[in-house]
Amino acid sequence: GAGVSQSPRYKVAKRGQDVALRCDPISGHVSLFWYQQALGQGPEFLTYFQNEAQLDKSGLPSDRFFAERPEGSVSTLKIQRTQQEDSAVYLCATSEVSGANVLTFGAGSRLTVL
């Protein structure tokens, strides 16, 4: 597609529910990043894929967070047993080269945990 597509755009979850957020990157983009953006803050790094390999997951806040990109294209960020502090906008960004030099961002998935 022409841009990075994220779905759902909005998700409301009850505390304890599992959620899955999807990112469809620009075709052929090698690098894929997930960021978490809390209200009034800049994005915070969660994880980085180069093709299907997850090269860095140091930013995932707990073992309730899991990300995958099995075929090097679509990626899913899964949050298990959601907590209120997980409420944020989750941003996906991709790049046609390795690294974060020039990123194209999706519009984000806004998660609200009640």
Partner 1 sequence: AQSVTQPDIHITVSEGASLELRCNYSYGATPYLFWYVQSPGQGLQLLLKYFSGDTLVQGIKGFEAEFKRSQSSFNLRKPSVHWSDAAEYFCAVGTANYQLIWGAGTKLIIKP
Can you give the binding site for partner 1, defined by CB under 8 A?
3-4, 31, 40-45, 48, 56, 91, 93, 98-108
Radius of gyration of the chain (CA): 13
- Least CB distance to partner 1 at residue 72 (A): 17
**Considering the complex, what minimum distance in angstroms separates the CB of residue 39 from partner 1?**
11
Distance CA 113, CA 99 (A): 31
Smallest gap, in angstroms, from Cβ of residue 77 to partner 1?
16
Contacts of 113 (CB under 8 A, 6+ apart): 12, 13, 14, 15, 82, 83, 84, 85, 86, 87
Judged by beta carbon, residue 81 or residue 100, the one nearer partner 1 is 100
Q: Shortest gap between Cβ of 16 and partner 1 (angstroms)?
A: 29
Choice between 15 and 27, CB closer to partner 1: 27
Nearer to partner 1, 48 or 113 (CB): 48
Q: Which is nearer to partner 1, 80 or 105 (CB)?
A: 105
Strand, helix or coil for residue 50: strand
